[in-house]
Amino acid sequence: MIKDGIINIDKPAGWTSHDVVAKIRGLLRVKKVGHAGTLDPQATGVLPICFGKGTKVVHFLMDAEKEYEAVLRLGEETDTQDATGKVFRSVDVPSGIEERVREAMASFVGTYEQMPPMYSAIKVKGVPLYRSARAGKTVERAARAVTIREMRFKGIEGADVAFSVVCSKGTYVRTLCADIGTKLGVGGHLLQLRRTCADQFHISDSIELGRFCERVAEGTWEEEVYSLNQVLKDLPAVWVKGPYREKILHGAPVGPQAILKRTSFKKGEPLRLLDPEDQLLAIGRAEIDESEIGGSRASFFKIETVLSDVSGPEVGAGVEESVPSSLY
């Protein structure tokens, strides 16, 4: 049985990201399970689920751009900035607003300061904002720089505007919708949201949660697992000679004499450390540029995370443990 990897789940509406984590943990009876980027309960789409030692590479996936398809409803503002909240302001949307909508969307492309919504898991003085919001409090908070790389208008029907957006980690699409509505002077909120891409994980390659449950029952679920080396394939690589494999697995430094081959890398970059059979052993961090190694026998990288089996298996009996991922 595969003990470590990532599964590209298509999250259904009505499930929290934690619900999906708990479901996968129960299905696979794996001790450690986490996800690489929260989706709100009513949102659907790509939710990478990491299990076993896959939880140790979550941070590499969290920093990637995300792509969404969304529907913005103009003329209604809600306290949550999405369709789950209470409408506190409603205005008529003038006809012939399409061109203004296009212009408003275009104005947000680039980097802008976005105010995190009160209904979010961001903590202020140790308290999640959503708890303060549920208590009827508005907490002072700082805007955060987010980047909208691309936004495409797809159509408008009545007060509902369909669009797609490619954005940085930390972007709240519901806040983007509210900001667009504010710029237009009519207000607005997020009506529908579907994540179509997160880093290398695309919706076309995802598997619906229900279908994954069926594949577990059929015994074919392993075909849906991405290996850690596959997911981290874009990182520079260093191949270690066989006799030095155990040293790497115990986090011990090795010098250039232990290296079979390597790709180019820069100081500070993460490195994949592999054995001659291309098995991913660990993730290291380059302490010098690859061009500076020369004839030195000193280690040129520091081992940060061991990923190969060096102890007992990760498969357990459904131990209640999960790996938290930051809400973004």
Does 25 share its domain with 40? Answer: yes
Phi-psi category of residue 229: left, alpha or beta, with phi > 0 → left and psi -120 to 50 → alpha:
alpha
Phi-psi category of residue 81: left, alpha or beta, with phi > 0 → left and psi -120 to 50 → alpha:
left
Phi-psi category of residue 5: left, alpha or beta, with phi > 0 → left and psi -120 to 50 → alpha:
left
Q: Give the model confidence (pLDDT) of 145-155 as tens digits.
A: 999 999 999 99
Any idea what the CATH number is for the domain that residue 126 is in? 3.30.2350.10
Could you tell me if residue 321 is inside a domain?
no
Catalytically annotated residue among 4, 10, 19, 40:
40
Please report the pLDDT score of residue 308 as a whole number: 83
Please report the pLDDT score of residue 122 as a whole number: 84
Please report the pLDDT score of residue 316 as a whole number: 35
Does 105 share its domain with 205? Answer: no
Could you tell me if residue 105 is inside a domain?
yes
Does 88 share its domain with 152? Answer: yes
The structure's pTM equals 0.88
Does 98 share its domain with 172? Answer: yes
Please report the pLDDT score of residue 135 as a whole number: 87
User: Considering its fold, how many domains does the chain have in total?
Assistant: 3
Does 26 share its domain with 119? Answer: no
Residue pair 39/174 in contact (Cβ under 8 Å)? The answer is no
Could you tell me if residue 312 is inside a domain?
no
Residue 40 annotated to the active site: yes
Other beta carbons less than 10 A from residue 140's beta carbon: 5
Any idea what the CATH number is for the domain that residue 269 is in? 2.30.130.10
Please report the pLDDT score of residue 35 as a whole number: 95
Does 153 share its domain with 251? Answer: no
Instruction: Spell 219-258 as b/e; 16+ CB within 10 A means b.
Output: eebeebbbebbebbeebbbbbbeeebbeebbeeeebeeeb
Does 70 share its domain with 59? Answer: no
Residues of the chain with pLDDT under 70: 295, 309-328
Please report the pLDDT score of residue 33 as a whole number: 97
Does 77 share its domain with 191? Answer: yes
- State the amino acid at position 49 in one-letter form: I
Could you tell me if residue 311 is inside a domain?
no
Please report the pLDDT score of residue 297 as a whole number: 72
Please report the pLDDT score of residue 324 as a whole number: 36
Does 177 share its domain with 237? Answer: no
Could you tell me if residue 77 is inside a domain?
yes
Please report the pLDDT score of residue 310 as a whole number: 53
Does 13 share its domain with 47? Answer: yes
Does 190 share its domain with 114? Answer: yes
Could you tell me if residue 322 is inside a domain?
no
Does 180 share its domain with 75? Answer: yes
Query: Which residue range is the domain that position 268 belongs to?
Result: 232-306
Question: Got the DSSP string for 160-197?
Answer: EEEEEEEE-TT--HHHHHHHHHHHHTS-EEEEEEEEEE
